[in-house]
Amino acid sequence: MYMIYFECGLRLPIHHLIIQSMHHYQLAIPQLMPNEIRVFLGLIVITDEAGIKLSVNDFLAFYYLQENSKDHGRYSMYPR
């Protein structure tokens, strides 16, 4: 079950932005749809390469989470 997250690019240690965002929403990583890990990692790579330190508040300005209508208890990220 959890291997899909690592296949999507998640690595240990888990990036602080993912941990802090999950804490903000009071969710566990497996509650995210697997593709959302790719969104997180893409945003992290782009901002790291640009020398920008992204905070949870910055992330919240770009995306919001919504419960997946087809898979209750799982969440998807959508751009604002």
Residue 2 above 90 pLDDT? Answer: no
Q: What's the burial of 59, exposed, middle or buried (CB within 10 Å: 0-12/13-18/19+)? A: buried
Q: What is the pLDDT of residues 26-77, one digit of tens each?
A: 999 999 998 899 999 999 999 999 999 989 999 999 999 999 888 889 999 9
Position 63 scores a pLDDT of: 93
| pTM for the predicted model, two decimal places | 0.84
Position 1 scores a pLDDT of: 60
Q: Quote the domain boundaries for residue 61.
A: 3-79
Position 25 scores a pLDDT of: 94
Is 35:61 a contact under the CB 8 Å cutoff?
no
Domain count, the chain: 1
